[in-house]
Amino acid sequence: MNSLLYIDPEINDQDVVYRTMDFFSIAAMIQNKSMMFTRADMFEDKNEGVERILSQLSISSPRSGCGMGWKDNATAKVMHQDIQRSHYVSCWSRNPDSVAMWSLYSSDLSSVRVSVRLSKLISVVENLLNKYLIAHLDENNLGKTLVGSVSGKIFPVRYMSLSYLSRLAQRRARALAKIDKRYEDLGMSSPVSGGSRRAFLRRLDQRAQLSEIGRLKDISFKHEEEIRLIVRLGEEVCTKFIVDSSRLVDPLHECHLAYKGYMEAWGYVKNTNIPSREFVCCPADLIETVAIDPRCSKHKVDFMNAWFNDHKIKVVKSNCFGYIPDELHVFPHG
């Protein structure tokens, strides 16, 4: 397994996850043997990746001497956009059948829900990580702006009220600023040390998972029961040190364990144009079953059934939107 990939302990690689997509996207995935990852800034949810902003606010200190890279609404948005632009995401669900998911992702009543085993998705994340590895750098790259794989993660999403967390972080920051100011006016050092700030962040992180970008979503999305595949990219100007460090990518290198920590220090993607979507090679047998929207018109169902049968993909039935009286096979005595 790629050393940059982290899989949450809650995840079992034999678990099955689900996704509802339009037929043409699934057909392209099957025929091209490629799966799409989307940059986080392309999602409808504008709060994707907001954890970094909230965690920085929670431990900020006016006199720390360590800037967070933002200081007002405008610069907070720039920082947040850089964070989003640096993450490719693929979203799946633990929920095998959901009226909410059909309603959201099958607006034309013709979408298809696919099932996939997580062990196969792990290999896809590794393929995207490998695409951006810095393994082949040489002196010709010196001075150029590089984009490299920083980390890959697979984890279940946590759901909390983002408005509540924002208020909590702001209240904490205001309280710390008042304490710092009071002691500054007295010519004294604040007793609220960096350690206490870090302890607060640890407590907050235990509740909200703020340390992992992409893990937290608003409680209003809880119906999704989401499992996420995320690849973070970083950007740096190539130096001789980076060229020399590219050798650490080799798992057999004696300093390979330092490679992961080194890549974590790379900055967010700010100046490089990277695709809004990445299409990554996936196993030919990625999709195990499909279910067609139960509300779909018969002529479309017949066409999709025939297409999936031709490609030897099992079609199963969704239990949503059914009408029980039509499904009865046993009746009371007259």
pLDDT in tens, 143-153: 999 999 999 99
For 154-182, what is the mean pLDDT? 83
More confident residue, 165 or 315: 315
Query: Cα(167)–Cα(91) distance, rounded to whole angstroms?
Result: 28
* Per-residue pLDDT at 93: 96
* Per-residue pLDDT at 314: 96
**For residue 130, pLDDT beyond 80:** yes
Query: Cα(249)–Cα(257) distance, rounded to whole angstroms?
Result: 9
For 108-118, what is the mean pLDDT? 96
**Could you report the per-residue pLDDT of 297-313, keeping only the tens digit for each?**
999 999 999 999 999 99
* Per-residue pLDDT at 251: 86
For 197-218, what is the mean pLDDT? 67
For 114-129, what is the mean pLDDT? 96
* Per-residue pLDDT at 329: 87
**For residue 209, pLDDT beyond 60:** no
> What confidence category does residue 70 fall into, taking pLDDT thresholds of 50, 70 and 90?
confident
> What confidence category does residue 190 fall into, taking pLDDT thresholds of 50, 70 and 90?
low
What residues contact 89, with CB distance under 8 A and at least 6 apart? 37, 38, 39, 40, 43, 48, 214, 228, 229, 230
Per-residue burial over 79-109, b if 16 or more Cβ lie within 10 Å, else e, is: bbbbbbbbbbbbbbbeebbbeebbbebbeee
Both tokens of residue 127?
């393929």
37 three-state secondary structure:
strand
More confident residue, 184 or 5: 5
More confident residue, 55 or 164: 164
For 257-275, what is the mean pLDDT? 91
> What confidence category does residue 63 fall into, taking pLDDT thresholds of 50, 70 and 90?
low
For 152-172, what is the mean pLDDT? 89
Q: What is the pTM of this model?
A: 0.88
For 213-238, what is the mean pLDDT? 94
Percent of the chain with pLDDT over 70: 90
Alpha helices, DSSP H, located in the chain:
23-32, 51-59, 73-85, 99-105, 118-131, 162-185, 194-208, 240-245, 257-264, 298-310, 324-327
For 65-84, what is the mean pLDDT? 83
For 10-14, what is the mean pLDDT? 91
Mean of pLDDT over the chain:
88
Residue 147: closest CA among 100, 214, 87, 203: 87
* Per-residue pLDDT at 65: 45
> What confidence category does residue 234 fall into, taking pLDDT thresholds of 50, 70 and 90?
very high
For 23-44, what is the mean pLDDT? 95
Do 33 and 281 touch, CB atoms closer than 8 A?
yes
